[in-house]
Amino acid sequence: MVVYYNPLAANGKGLENAEKIKEYTDAELKFKDIRGIDFKEILKSEEKIVLCGGDGTISSFVNSVGEIPDEREIYYFPAGTGNDFTRDIEKDGLILLNPYIKDLPTAEIKGRTYKVLNGIGYGIDGYCCEQGDKQRAKSDKPVNYTAIAIKGVLINFKPANAVVTVDGKKYEYKKVWLAPTMNGRYYGGGMCVTPNQDRLNKDRKITFAVWHGAGKLKTLMRFSSIFKGEHIKYKEMFEMIEGYDVEVRFDRPTPLQVDGETISNVESYTMKSAAAAANKKPADSKNA
């Protein structure tokens, strides 16, 4: 069994965390640095593969290899900091990854296609990732995303207006703070933004969510409720819509993050479930 680990995961403790896999298996283990690895080549080997790192490690893998044969088992051992994927599936230890990376939704952003593991953050969540990247480039200190978010809400981030289309139906929102579309429930290191979303739901629906209309102080006062999924009770400022095909368009460029990867100056994105991408939505999807 070959454990491909990211030494930069968990603030440089990638190997130390990867070695904890010994508590979960008696198999003979080989540890290899995942950086510079050609994922397509390792799929050709007959050795069992374990990906060890954070959500970004899984995202990099699925966006590099294309289709994975059903008989090729891929395992995962969490060793990152955010770990929203394992938080969502409520598992730890050595995890068979195949059921969770089959039929992933896809996103189109600035002409590039991404397979989406957890979700897309658009609005202040994208802004926080962008600011975090800037801080990380200047310092080795851990990034305080909570502090970035608070400062963003109060001072630097300006909410946008949005036009959203879900399965052909158009919605318009003013003063949008968040406009994610999710495959899982969690993103951003523990924010349960779409608590009703099931990544293995039968129809492979995705969930669009929007936090809108509120001023700075009201948004800041209620923002912490998102970590427990309690924000959904504030229906005057938060809404969720299930569907298969989502397009979100802002009236000005705004940072976006897809599974933690920051993309700056984005005016719009689309995200399609696997069913929509394959044009196999259930017949009643128009009424979904």
State mean pLDDT over 225-240.
96
Residue 135: phi, psi to the nearest 5?
-65, -40
State mean pLDDT over 197-208.
96
State mean pLDDT over 167-190.
96
Give yes or no: residues 263 and 126 share one domain: yes
For residue 45, the domain's CATH number is 3.40.50.10330
Range of weakest confidence among 94-108, 141-155, 159-173, 199-213: 141-155
What Rg value do the Cα atoms of the chain yield, rounded?
A: 19
Domain boundary among 67, 102, 137: 102
State mean pLDDT over 240-244.
97
Q: What is the pLDDT of residues 18-75, one digit of tens each?
A: 999 999 999 999 999 988 889 888 888 888 999 998 898 899 999 999 888 888 999 9
pLDDT value for 69: 81
Give yes or no: residues 155 and 237 share one domain: yes
Q: What is the pLDDT of residues 129-143, one digit of tens each?
A: 899 889 888 887 877
Give yes or no: residues 243 and 169 share one domain: yes
Domain boundary among 71, 102, 133: 102
Give yes or no: residues 90 and 142 share one domain: no
pLDDT(281) > 90: no
pTM of the model as a whole: 0.91
Distances (CA, A) of 137 to 131, 141, 149: 10, 10, 18
pLDDT(152) > 80: yes
pLDDT(228) > 90: yes
The total number of residues shown for the chain amounts to 288
pLDDT(79) > 50: yes
pLDDT(1) > 50: yes
pLDDT(233) > 80: yes
Mean model confidence pLDDT for the chain:
91
Give yes or no: residues 168 and 192 share one domain: yes
Asked if residue 124 lies in contact with residue 152, where contact means CB atoms within 8 angstroms, the answer is yes
pLDDT(211) > 90: yes
Amino acid letter, residue 20: K
Give yes or no: residues 119 and 258 share one domain: yes
pLDDT value for 288: 40
pLDDT value for 146: 79
The number of folded domains in the chain is 2
Give yes or no: residues 123 and 257 share one domain: yes
State mean pLDDT over 85-90.
96
**What would the two tokens of residue 179 be?**
């406009």
Asked if residue 253 lies in contact with residue 265, where contact means CB atoms within 8 angstroms, the answer is yes
pLDDT(280) > 80: no
Give yes or no: residues 95 and 190 share one domain: no
Give yes or no: residues 38 and 127 share one domain: no
Distance CA 233, CA 129 (A): 26
Give yes or no: residues 172 and 224 share one domain: yes
pLDDT value for 104: 96
- What residues make up the domain containing 228? 107-287
For residue 203, the domain's CATH number is 2.60.200.40
Give yes or no: residues 119 and 29 share one domain: no
pLDDT(286) > 50: no
Domain boundary among 78, 102, 126: 102
Give yes or no: residues 86 and 154 share one domain: no
pLDDT(255) > 70: yes
